[in-house]
Amino acid sequence: MALVTGGAQGIGGAIATAFAREGADVAILDMQKEKANEKAHELERFGVSSVAVCADVKDESQLKIAIETAMRQLGRIDILVNNAGINSTSSVVEMTTDMWDEMISNNLRSVFLSSRAVLGPMIERKHGRIINISSQLAHKGSAEMAHYTAAKAGVIGFTKSLAYEVAIHGVTVNAICPGPIDTDLLKRLPEDWKKRKFSELPIGRAGQVEEIAPTAVMLASEEGAYYVGTTLNPNGGDVMV
C-alpha cells in the first residue's frame, strides 16, 4: 500500500493516480476531506482499494491517528510519499517568525513525523520506500522564499541522513525536486514572481503534474532499489545537476 500526503490534488494527486494505475492500493492523506474522498473514489476505477484520511501533517497526534486508520483499512504501508506542503513569499526583512515557523513545520517537520511513523514496520519487514518531495529551489535559492527554500533544503538533508540509517534494512529513501509545476500552490504565488521564474527556465514553461509522477513510480519500484539518498530533478532545466 502507498500512502501519499497531500494526495488529494496537485503533484500528490498525480502520484497517487500513477501508483493506482500500477496496481497499488493507495491511502490519500490530506487536510481537505471532501477532495481526498473524491480522489480515493476516483482511484478505485483502476481496480484497487483506496481510502482517504484527514490530518494536519504538522500535528503529530493527528498524523499518528490518520496513519493508523489507513493501515487498519488497507494494511501495511510499503511506500510513503511525503508531498504535503505550503508556499508563500516574503523578504526576510519583512518575514514574521510565525511565517517562518509555519513553513518549517509544514514542509520539514511533517516529513520527519510521517517518516518516523512508518519506519518501524518497514525495517522489520526489511522493505520499504520513502519518497520526499523537495524543490529545485533547495539547490539554487530564490528571492522572497528563504523560508520555503530552507525547508526544502532540509528535506534533502533529512533524506540523505535517513537513507544512511535504513538502507541496510532494505528501506530506500530518496527525494524528488520538481521545478515550478502547474498546481494551485503555484497559482497562489505573485504574478511577478512567476513571470520572473518562467523567464529563467530553458524549457520556458511550468511543468505538469503528470511529468513528475513517473519519477515517483520508478523510485517506488523494485527497479529503483539502487537509488539510495539520491535527489532526482525533473525541473525543466532550472537546475542542471
Domains of the chain: 2-232 (3.40.50.720)
CA angle 221, 135, 123 (to 5 degrees): 40
Active site residues: 148
195: pLDDT strictly greater than 90? no
* Predicted confidence band of residue 141 (pLDDT cuts 50, 70, 90): very high
pTM of the model: 0.96
Residue type, 43: L
Has residue 187 got a pLDDT over 90?
no
Question: pLDDT tier at 185 (50, 70, 90 boundaries)?
Answer: confident
In eight-state DSSP terms, residue 225 is T
Closest listed residue to residue 30, CA positions, set 22, 38, 21 = 38
Q: Is 42 exposed, middle or buried (0-12, 13-18, 19+ CB in 10 A)?
A: middle
Interval 86-137: pLDDT, tens: 999 999 999 999 999 999 999 999 999 999 999 999 999 999 999 999 999 9
Paired strand residues for 231 = 175
Give SS3 for 25.
coil
Report the share of the chain in percent with pLDDT over 70: 100
Residue 196: Cβ within 10 Å count: 12
For residue 198, the model assigns a pLDDT of: 86
Strand duo 79-82 + 128-133: pairing = parallel
* Band of pLDDT at residue 194, cut at 50, 70 and 90: confident
